[in-house]
Amino acid sequence: MTEINELDQFILSSIDSNWQKVAMVIAKALADQELDFPESEDDAGFIASRVDELIRAGHLEASGDTSNWRFSEVRRVAVMDDTTTILYRPVGPEELELLKQSDFTRWPPRLPEQPIFYPVTNERYASEIAEKWNVKDSGYGAVTMFRVRSSFMCRYQIQQVGGSHHTEWWIPAEDLEILNDNIVGRIAVIREFRARQP
């Protein structure tokens, strides 16, 4: 049976800095004669799970819902220096749909009752919000990750609002378009949560 490390190396070697469909990545792995999967294994599903793990580990960047293989894409994460800052943001289905309309390149304008845009500093905090609040409100929550030029982010202080990992930025709604102009690459969906079926 193929070792996970060997499969991960194959996946990474088949992906470069250009976007390609998750379905194509899976097809390449399935077609490789040296990758031997047991007959009882869901080969495609197993490969997809490793792609998702490589996204969570920061080796790959995703665009779209990676559970929908034909309509999502991945690419290798470019080597970033200290000129960019990584931000995370939990979203529900409505905001996710608006991100899709921008091809995952811009955040939608805030509503009048939303004077502040709140990205957070770490995946753990974003996951807690997505799982506990977005799922409660709508049955679905996702964690997004994106990079913003540090020359823009340095004007905002990190705010701690609870435990040590409950840290976030408070960006006024009127600055959101400038933030969008400073996003480097696409906004990636890195985790998803759904309501449990009774």
- State yes or no: pLDDT of 81 exceeds 60: no
Instruction: State residue 8's pLDDT score.
Output: 83
125 or 42, which is more confident? 125
- State yes or no: pLDDT of 82 exceeds 70: no
Rg for the chain, CA atoms, rounded: 18
Instruction: State residue 55's pLDDT score.
Output: 87
163 or 155, which is more confident? 155
Paired tokens of 136? 């409660």
- State yes or no: pLDDT of 89 exceeds 60: yes
Looking at the domain covering 4-76, what would its CATH class be? mainly alpha
The per-residue pLDDT for range 33-55, each reduced to its tens digit, is 777 766 656 889 989 988 998 88
Residue ranges per structural domain of the chain: 4-76, 84-194
Give the residue from 103, 88, 108, 89 showing the smallest Cα distance to 185.
103
178 or 63, which is more confident? 178
Q: What is the mean pLDDT of the chain?
A: 88
Could you tell me the end-to-end alpha-carbon distance of the chain, in angstroms, rounded to an integer? 36
- State yes or no: pLDDT of 124 exceeds 60: yes
pLDDT band at 1 (very low <50, low <70, confident <90, very high): very low
Instruction: State residue 41's pLDDT score.
Output: 67
> Packing angle between helix 22-31 and helix 4-13, nearest 10 degrees?
120
- 102 HSE (CA, 13 A, CB side): 18
Say what percent of the chain tops pLDDT 90: 57
* Contacts for 16-21: CB closer than 8 Å, 24+ residues apart: 16/75, 16/76, 17/75, 17/76, 17/78, 18/75, 19/63, 19/73, 19/74, 19/75, 20/73, 20/74, 20/75, 21/69, 21/70, 21/71, 21/72, 21/73
* Contacts for 152-158: CB closer than 8 Å, 24+ residues apart: 152/178, 152/179, 152/182, 153/85, 153/87, 153/182, 158/121
pLDDT band at 4 (very low <50, low <70, confident <90, very high): low
